[in-house]
Amino acid sequence: MTERIYLLPLWIRLWHWSNALLIITLSVTGFSLHFADPKLPLVEFSLAARLHQVAGIALVALYAFFVVANLVTGNWWQYIPKPPGIIERCWVQAKWYMFGIFRGEPHPYRVSEETNFNALQALSYWFIMYMVMPLMLLSGLLFLFPEFAPDRVFGFDGLLPVAVVHYLTGAVIVMFMIAHIYLGTTGTTATSMFKTMINGWHEHVGPEESRHGDRRHADRRGS
Amino acid sequence: MFSTWCQRIFGALLVAGLCGAPVHAGSDSPIDSETLAKNRKANEVCFACHSPAGIAKPPRADLDMSKLADSRVEPEIFNKADHGVMDCRQCHSSKHYGAEYPHGAAGKTETSPCNECHAAKQLRLEPQFNASVHAKVEGVKEKFTCNTCHNVHVNVLALRLKDPAKIVEQDNHGCLACHNSDATFARFAPASDKMPGQKKARPDIDTIHEWLPNTKAHWKAVRCVECHTPEVAAGKMLSHEILNKEKAEKKCLTCHSADSSLKTRLYRHMVKDEQQRLGFTNSVILSNSYVIGATRHPELDRIVIGFIVLTLAGVLGHGAVRFIAALRRRKNGEKQ
Ligand code: HEM
C-alpha cells in the first residue's frame, strides 16, 4: 500500500507554475535584450522588451501574492531552516547528492506536512525567494521607472548599478532554475516530484523508501 | 574676465567690422580681445531693452511690452552661444537698429541670411536641406529656413557643448518646439486635405512613436535626427536631410547592439576618447546612458555564461552518472 500525504495546497501549485512560466519567459527575453546582436537568432528586440515588461510586472504582482499568502497561511515557516543541527543536516543532504544518490541509498530526509523541505532546500529557497528575488524585482522596477534611479554614479549613468544588479541576480536565478529543475528528477522516480507539484499528493512509499527510508527516518527522530 | 573669454574662443573666427559687413566664417584668425570687448559693449545698448532685466525695468515707458517680452535675449546664454562673440548688428542691420526706438520698419526683412557668412557650409548643406521633408511640402517649404531649427542666439556647436545630454536637449528642442506645440506647428502646417480651409492637425509625437518603449526616456537620451536622417560615414557631420516617415529608422538594434550607430552620431565627438573604462564596451555612451545591448561588459558576460554552462554541465554530468549507476544496480539486482 502506498502512503500518500496531501502536501501542497492548490494556491502553492498555481503560484509555482505561474512563477515558472514567467521566469522562463523573463530569462529568454532578458537574454535576448542583453545579448542583442543582429547576428544572433534571439527574440526580436522590441518584442522581447514588450514581453519582458509585461512578464516582469506580472511577476512583481505574483511575488506580492506569494509573500502575502505565505504570511496568511503560515507557509513561510517552511522556508526557515530550523535548529538544531542545521549544518549537520545540510551536510547529510549534500553527501547524499554527492554519493548516496548514485548508490541508490534512500533519501536521508522524509517529507511531512510539517516540514516539506529538506534543510538544503529550505536554505536555498529562502535565499532565492527572500534575498535574490526582492533585489531582482526592485532593480527591474527601477529599470521600468528610471526616474527613481540615481542620476549619476562614479561618472557613469545612474542606471548602471541597477542594470548590473538586475543582470547578476537574473543570472543567479537562471542557475538556480537549472539546478532546481534537475533536482526535481531526484524523487522516488524521475517524475514523481513533478507529479506532486501538479496534483499536490506526495507518495511516501516508493519501492526504495519502503525498504530503508522509514527506518532511518525513525532512527533520526529517535535520537 | 575678457581674457578668459579670449581663451575660450581662441580659434574663433575674426568677426570683421561693426557695420554688418559680411564676414567669412572659415577664416581661422581668432577674434581679438579688443574686438570682443567692443562687441560686448555695443550689445549692452540692445540688452537695455532685450533682456530679462530690460523687460522687468524698461528704460522707456512707451514700449510695446507684449512684443518686447517675446523678443527676449538672455545675455548669459547669448554670450556663450556660437554667435556670442558678435555684435548684434552684424546680423541686425545697424541702419534700423540702435538705441533709438521704434526700430526702422524695414529691419525685420533685412536680417543677414546665414549664407552671408556661412557660404561654403550652406552650399554643402543646401542639397540635403532641399531634399528634406520640410522643403517638399507645399505650404511648409516657403516658411522653413535655417533658423527654424537653429536658434542663433542660443545654440552651441555640439563639439563645444560636449555633454551629450545638453546636445540632445538643444537639438531636440529645435524639433519639439514645433512638433510638440500646437501653436507653432499651426503656423507652419500645410492645409488639411480632409477639412478644407483648415490646417493639418499636429500628430502627437508620443503617439506616433508608440512602438518605441518609454519614448520620454528616449527623447532625453537620443536626438530625433538620430533616426530621421540618412546614414553618413563615421566622423562626418550628420546630414541635413530629414527623411520622411517611411525611411525613418525603426530597427532597435541600430542603437541597441555592441556596434551601436550612436558612435557615429550623438557620440561622434567622444568616440576618440573611448578607453573601455572599467572594461565596458562603449563606455563613452555609458557616461551618459545605459543603453541595453550597447553598453556591456564582455568580461562579466563571459563569467556569467561560464557559470551557467558549468551549472548545466554539472547537472547533466550528475544525471548521467546517476543513470549509469541505476542501470548497473538494476543489472546487479537481476543477477542476485
Ligand atoms: C528571472 C527573472 C528575470 C531575468 C532573468 C531578467 C533579465 C533581464 C536582463 C538580462 C535584462 C537586460 C538588461 C541588460 O542588458 O543589462 C533585463 C532588462 C529589464 N528587466 Fe528583467 N529580468 C527578470 C525579471 C524582471 C522583472 C521581475 C522585471 C520588472 C519588474 C524586469 C524588468 C526589466 C526591465 C524594465 C528591463 C529593461 C528592458 C525593458 O524595458 O524591457 N525584469 N532583464
Residue A201 pairs in a beta bridge with A6
Residues in A closer than 8 angstroms to B211, CB to CB, are 46
What is d(CA A206, CA A210) in angstroms, rounded to the nearest whole number? 6
B199-229 residue pLDDT tens: 888 999 999 999 999 898 899 999 999 999 9
Amino acid at position B306, single letter: G
Q: What is the average pLDDT across A130-147? A: 95
Judge contact between A8 and A197, C-beta under 8 A.
yes
The answer to whether residue A217 sits within a structural domain is no
Confidence at A142, pLDDT banded by 50, 70, 90: very high
DSSP A149-213: S-SEETTEETHHHHHHHHHHHHHHHHHHHHHHHHHTT-SSSTTHHHHHHHH-EEE---HHIIIII
The answer to whether residue A168 sits within a structural domain is yes
Reference B256, options A143, A38, A149; nearest CA is: A38
Return the CATH number at A121.
Answer: 1.20.950.20
| Number of domains chain A contains | 1
| Burial status of residue A37 (CB atoms within 10 A of its CB: 0-12, 13-18, 19 or more) | middle
C-alpha neighbours within 13 Å on the C-beta side of residue A125: 17
List C-alpha distances in Å: B290 to A83, B280, B295.
45, 11, 6
Between A219 and B305, the higher pLDDT residue: B305
Q: What is the share, in percent, of chain A residues with pLDDT greater than 90? A: 54
Question: What does the pLDDT read at residue A118?
Answer: 84
| Number of domains chain B contains | 2
Rounded to two decimals, the ipTM of the complex is 0.86
The torsion defined by the Cα of A162, A165, A170 and A176, in degrees rounded to 10, comes to -160
Question: What does the pLDDT read at residue A204?
Answer: 67
Residue A6 pairs in a beta bridge with A201
Point out the residue among B257, B308, B329 whose CB comes nearest to the CB of A171: B308
Candidates A31, A52, A136, A177: which one to mutate for ligand 1, based on the most atoms within 8 Å of Cβ?
Answer: A52
Q: Are residues B258 and A37, on separate chains, in Cβ contact within 8 Å?
A: yes
Across all residues in chain B, what is the average pLDDT? 86
Between A123 and A167, the higher pLDDT residue: A167
Residue that finishes a domain, picked among B79, B98, B119:
B119
Judge contact between A108 and A96, C-beta under 8 A.
yes
Cis peptide preceding B190, ω within 30 of 0:
no
Q: What is the average pLDDT across B82-101? A: 92
Q: Are residues A45 and B252, on separate chains, in Cβ contact within 8 Å?
A: yes
Residues in B closer than 8 angstroms to A185, CB to CB, are 319
* Cell numbers at B34, concatenated: 579688443
What is d(CA A160, CA A152) in angstroms, rounded to the nearest whole number? 9
* Domain range enclosing A62: 2-209
B111-149 residue pLDDT tens: 999 999 999 999 999 999 999 999 988 888 888 999 899
The answer to whether residue A215 sits within a structural domain is no
Interchain contact B329–A (C-beta under 8 A): yes
Residue that finishes a domain, picked among B119, B144, B168:
B119
Interchain contact A31–B (C-beta under 8 A): no
The answer to whether residue B174 sits within a structural domain is no
Interchain contact B318–A (C-beta under 8 A): yes
- What's phi and psi for A157, nearest 5 deg? -60, 140
What is d(CA B114, CA B129) in angstroms, rounded to the nearest whole number? 13
DSSP B186-209: HHHPPBPSSSTTSBPPPPPHHHHT
Reference B165, options B122, B97, B203, B217; nearest CA is: B217
pTM of the model: 0.88
CA of B155 to the centre of ligand 1 (A): 38
Residues in B closer than 8 angstroms to A160, CB to CB, are 286, 290, 295
Residue B27 pairs in a beta bridge with B25
* Cell numbers at B39, concatenated: 562687441
What is d(CA A132, CA A59) in angstroms, rounded to the nearest whole number? 14
The answer to whether residue A219 sits within a structural domain is no
Interchain contact B195–A (C-beta under 8 A): no
What is d(CA B120, CA A143) in angstroms, rounded to the nearest whole number? 46
Q: Are residues A156 and B286, on separate chains, in Cβ contact within 8 Å?
A: yes
Q: What is the average pLDDT across A99-113? A: 85
The answer to whether residue B335 sits within a structural domain is yes
**Has residue A71 got a pLDDT over 90?**
yes
* Domain range enclosing B330: 300-336
Q: What is the average pLDDT across A196-217? A: 58
The answer to whether residue A222 sits within a structural domain is no
Confidence at B333, pLDDT banded by 50, 70, 90: confident
The answer to whether residue B283 sits within a structural domain is no
**Has residue B13 got a pLDDT over 50?**
no
Question: What does the pLDDT read at residue B296?
Answer: 92
Question: What does the pLDDT read at residue A155?
Answer: 81
Instruction: Looking at mean pLDDT, say which of A163-177, B30-44, B46-60 comes out highest.
Output: A163-177
Residue A5 pairs in a beta bridge with A202
Interchain contact B159–A (C-beta under 8 A): no
Q: If contacts are CB pairs under 8 Å, which of residues 148-167 in chain A contact chain B?
A: 155-157, 159-160, 162-164, 167
Confidence at A154, pLDDT banded by 50, 70, 90: confident
Q: What is the average pLDDT across B22-44? A: 73
The answer to whether residue B238 sits within a structural domain is no
Best mutation target among B259, B318, B323, B336 (most A Cβ atoms within 10 Å) is: B318
The secondary structure element, H or E, covering residue B161 is helix B158-161
Q: Are residues A160 and B311, on separate chains, in Cβ contact within 8 Å?
A: no
